[in-house]
């Protein structure tokens, strides 16, 4: 059963399986285990990032394409929901329409970008997507009539997803169920299904072709696969899942803005997570997102303590101060690319096959 659900791509490491189970349980039971607005917010962001990063892994890890336009599709999803909710009112129909429109736009754009630039070298595609994403971000902040410009859009969700909605009279197992929790549940289910779907895609014959292209595109073409078609399809699929993740983020925050969905920082975060978690392993997206967001939200507190201890030392004190946490993550990123290109997950799996180790 589990084997079928995971598309025969089992964790293949006891520690990895344990970590994944822990993450699954913690995220499923987050409202009960970690009460409080901040903790739930972090958990929801983890869910969104798992889907976003997993979709990026399909592109980077499995197909070997570096795209810098992934946040563009993320943003399209968020703006689709945001614009539909502000224009058409707060119904489930409006949300569905917004999501549908966003998916359609992502589909068109990704096909266009793919056909236009995936024929040539990886480096060329990376640069083109960088430019397109920058232009799209400018566009979104310029069309302030539609997108709200730099301020973004705040909107209201349907009643059953808003915090004031309480279906049950009393608390359930000690926690009051409100619309916010229902929204969290919705996120959890969609992300779980989306992740399993992505796992299915990469382990299908289609996914095998993508990996063949990653390993040696010339040989893949020689065997008889049209690499341009497969690359474009991979690009389209990744874009659609990213759009979905963006829509979920907008739904959770009830807000969409250029900083939260389109900025280059998110693109870099995604890149960091994929590489540190493990390229070409869908599970890397899960572990990477969880670790990254924990670091982003809680490591800074820890580092503040360290900085307090080292406060007197001039250079070292600045380097370990809480604001510089990204520096250490960057160092970790570079070391990962060199020394363990398959990331945390790859390490765990390598340990598992070595005899005499857990």
Partner 1 sequence: MSTTPTTPSGPTGTPGIAAHTPAGMPGRAPAAIPRSRLDWRPLALLPALALAALPLTGSPSTWLTLTVAGLAMGLIIFIIASGLTLVFGLMDVLNFGHGVFIALGAFVATSVMGAMGGWAGEGAAANLLAVFCAMAAAMSVAGAVGWAFERVVVRPVYGLHLKQILITMGGMIIGEELIKAIWGPGQTPLPLPALLRGAWVMGDAAIERYRVLAALIGLAVFAGLLWTLNRTKLGLLIRAGVQDREMVEALGYRIGRLFVGVFAAGSALAGLGGVMWGFYQQSVTPQMGAQVNVLIFIVIIIGGLGSTLGCFTGALLVGLLANYCGFLAPKLALFSNIGLMVAVLLWRPRGLYPVTSR
Give ∠ CA 35-99-240 in degrees, rounded to 5.
Answer: 95
Query: Which residue number, 96 or 313, has a Cβ lying nearer to partner 1?
Result: 313
Query: Which residue number, 33 or 135, has a Cβ lying nearer to partner 1?
Result: 135
Query: Least distance from C-beta 217 to partner 1, angstroms?
Result: 12
Query: Least distance from C-beta 208 to partner 1, angstroms?
Result: 19
Query: Which residue number, 29 or 143, has a Cβ lying nearer to partner 1?
Result: 143
Query: Which residue number, 73 or 155, has a Cβ lying nearer to partner 1?
Result: 73
Question: Which residue is associated with the tokens 């999803």?
Answer: 77
CA torsion angle 10 16 22 26 (round to 10): -80
Query: Which residue number, 144 or 204, has a Cβ lying nearer to partner 1?
Result: 144
Query: Least distance from C-beta 279 to partner 1, angstroms?
Result: 9
C-beta of residue 205 within 8 angstroms of C-beta of residue 211: no
Classify burial at 211, counting beta carbons within 10 Å of its beta carbon; exposed 0-12, middle 13-18, buried 19 or more: middle
Query: Least distance from C-beta 201 to partner 1, angstroms?
Result: 21
Instruction: Give residues in contact with partner 1 (CB under 8 A).
Output: 64, 66, 112, 115-116, 119-124, 126-128, 130-132, 134-135, 138-139, 142, 264, 268, 271-272, 275, 318-319, 321, 323-324, 326-327, 329-331, 333-334, 337-338, 341
Residue 273 CB contacts under 8 Å (≥ 6 apart), including other chains: 49, 53, 285, 288, 289, 292
C-beta of residue 106 within 8 angstroms of C-beta of residue 239: yes
Query: Least distance from C-beta 227 to partner 1, angstroms?
Result: 13
Query: Which residue number, 116 or 160, has a Cβ lying nearer to partner 1?
Result: 116
Query: Least distance from C-beta 63 to partner 1, angstroms?
Result: 11
CA-CA distance, 51 to 241, in Å (whole number)?
Answer: 7
CA-CA distance, 154 to 86, in Å (whole number)?
Answer: 8
C-beta of residue 63 within 8 angstroms of C-beta of residue 128: no
């Amino acid at each position: 059963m589990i084997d079928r659900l995971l598309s025969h791509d089992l964790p293949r490491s006891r520690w990895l399986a344990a970590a994944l189970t822990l993450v699954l349980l913690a995220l499923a039971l987050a409202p009960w285990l970690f009460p409080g607005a901040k903790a739930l917010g972090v958990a929801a962001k983890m869910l969104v990032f798992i889907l976003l990063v997993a979709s990026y892994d399909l592109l980077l890890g499995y197909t070997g394409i570096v795209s810098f336009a992934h946040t563009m599709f993320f943003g399209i999803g968020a703006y689709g929901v945001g614009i539909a909710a502000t224009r058409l009112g707060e119904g489930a129909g409006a949300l569905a329409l917004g999501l549908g429109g966003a998916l359609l736009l992502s589909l068109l754009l990704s096909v266009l970008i793919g056909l236009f630039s995936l024929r040539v070298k990886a480096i060329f595609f990376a640069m083109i997507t960088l430019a397109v994403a920058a232009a799209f971000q400018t566009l979104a902040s310029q069309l302030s009539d539609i997108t709200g410009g730099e301020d973004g859009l705040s909107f209201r969700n349907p009643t059953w997803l808003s915090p004031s909605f309480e279906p049950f009279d009393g608390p359930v197992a000690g926690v009051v169920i409100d619309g916010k929790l229902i929204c969290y549940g919705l996120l959890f289910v969609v992300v779980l299904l989306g992740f399993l779907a992505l796992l299915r895609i990469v382990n299908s014959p289609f996914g095998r072709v993508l990996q063949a292209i990653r390993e040696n595109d010339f040989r893949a073409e020689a065997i008889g696969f049209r690499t341009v078609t497969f690359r474009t399809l991979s690009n389209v699929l990744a874009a659609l899942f990213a759009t979905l993740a963006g829509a979920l983020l907008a739904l959770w925050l009830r807000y969409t803005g250029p900083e939260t969905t389109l900025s280059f920082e998110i693109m870099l975060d995604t890149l960091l997570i994929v590489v540190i978690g493990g390229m070409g392993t869908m599970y890397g997206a899960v572990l990477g997102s969880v670790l990254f967001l924990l670091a982003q939200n809680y490591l800074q507190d820890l580092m503040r303590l360290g900085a307090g201890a080292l406060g007197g030392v001039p250079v070292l004190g600045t380097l370990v101060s809480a604001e510089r946490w990204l520096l250490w993550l960057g160092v970790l990123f570079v070391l990962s690319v060199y020394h363990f290109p398959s990331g945390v997950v790859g390490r765990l799996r390598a340990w598992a096959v070595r005899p005499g180790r857990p």
